Amino acid sequence: MAPHLPARRVHDIELALLQDAPKPNKNAIASEFNTTYETVRQIWNRISTGKPPKPLGQRRVITREMDEAILLLLELEPSYYQDEIAEFLKEVFQVNVDRSTISRAI
């Protein structure tokens, strides 16, 4: 996977695309900013449609509310094991969570 572009470079690409609108030369802009045509095309699609980019990866199972509940639980009972936290989430939020998910959350 390619590294993310710095925000400043994305901003500069956006400006270049908007200057050439409505039909910017995406190949020339990609070459000018030393990036791929696909990257420039994605930036153009985002700014021309006004839609935010789709989030990467899987949807989070543990919500912010669950995170806060876990923190409160651990403040009250710091010796809880991950399987006990999973059981707590199942009882309170009706959600089945694997221990590895809890490990990433805490």
Residues 6+ apart with CB under 8 A from 10: 43
What mean pLDDT, rounded, does the chain reach? 87
Q: pLDDT-based confidence at 1, cuts 50/70/90?
A: very low
Average pLDDT over residues 68-92: 93
Q: Please tell me the distance from the alpha carbon of residue 42 to that of residue 88, in angstroms, as a whole number.
A: 42
- 64 vs 59, higher pLDDT: 64
Average pLDDT over residues 84-89: 93
Q: Which of 31-40, 48-57, 86-95 has the lowest mean pLDDT?
A: 48-57
Q: E-assigned strands of the chain?
A: none
For the chain, the 3-state helix, strand and coil shares in percent, each to the nearest 5, are 60, 0, 40
Residues 6+ apart with CB under 8 A from 41: 26
